[in-house]
Structure 1
């Protein structure tokens, strides 16, 4: 089955994209890119989601290492999201609507990047599930919202709330 493709892009651009997607970016360039890319001040979601300290302390060293690797990958996603957000903001200021197709494509790109970030957060939780103590195993529910912290802003409260819910459902 052949994959459907759109029209070709400039060959130099195509080669650059192939290189970045297959080989990545040189470490020095990557470091510069991530340091120089700042998020808009009113976008709290464009940060690398950290693991709550309470949960982090319960993880095995190997799981901490793997989680840190995934966080590093998420940094690239978040920085790309920050750049696209700023591009979209500039495109949206075009009052003549000359860039409506670019606005739509940039919105689609941001949606996919945001979805990828969420998927990685949920995957990180799932990886931690076997390592967590029984009282925290429910914390990897997809319905539990994350913030700049993987398990939300108040882990003790979330644990307490679930225990109250369990108790009420037993009664």
Structure 2
């Protein structure tokens, strides 16, 4: 599942770079069709973000059964995800529980 996340992020990066270029064209040259496509691609990018989030939740769920029971709370949806699966400060999260 981690490899799937890498592919999602690579695709999102490519789409973002294209979006920036297309948005610049739409703004400078007043292309309404291009502006409309920028909106569609923004929606696709949002979907990729949601897929990434849901995939990370699935990864946590799978890992929950392998973790010591006292750390299972780290797998809950309320624990923020950053660039790390369990947030930036796992040791702090463990201490707070």
Normalising by structure 2, we get a TM-score of: 0.89
Of structures 1 and 2, the larger Rg is shown by 1
Shift of 1:73: 1.3
- Find runs of 4+ consecutive structure 1 residues off by over 2 angstroms: none
Q: Say which structure is richer in helix.
A: 2
Gaps of 5+ in 2: none
Give the 3-state SS of the residue equivalent to 1:131 in structure 2: coil
1:43-84 per-residue CA deviation (whole Å, 9 max, x = no partner) reads xxxxxxxxxxxxxxxxxxxxxxxxxxx111111110000000
Match of 1:88 among 19, 28, 36: 19
Gaps of 5+ in 1: 1-69, 164-171
Counterpart in 2 of 1:148? 83
> Relative contact order: is structure 1 or structure 2 higher (C-alpha 8 Å, sep ≥ 6)?
1
**1:158 and 2:93 matched:** yes
Query: RMSD over aligned Cα, in angstroms?
Result: 1.0
Counterpart in 2 of 1:72? 3
Give the 3-state SS of the residue equivalent to 2:62 in structure 1: helix
Counterpart in 2 of 1:136? 71
Shift of 1:97: 3.7
**Alpha-carbon distance in 1 for matches of 2:31, 2:69:** 55
**Alpha-carbon distance in 1 for matches of 2:21, 2:54:** 28
Normalising by structure 1, we get a TM-score of: 0.52
Task: Report the count of equivalent residues.
Answer: 93
Give the 3-state SS of the residue equivalent to 1:145 in structure 2: coil
Match of 2:54 among 95, 119, 125: 119
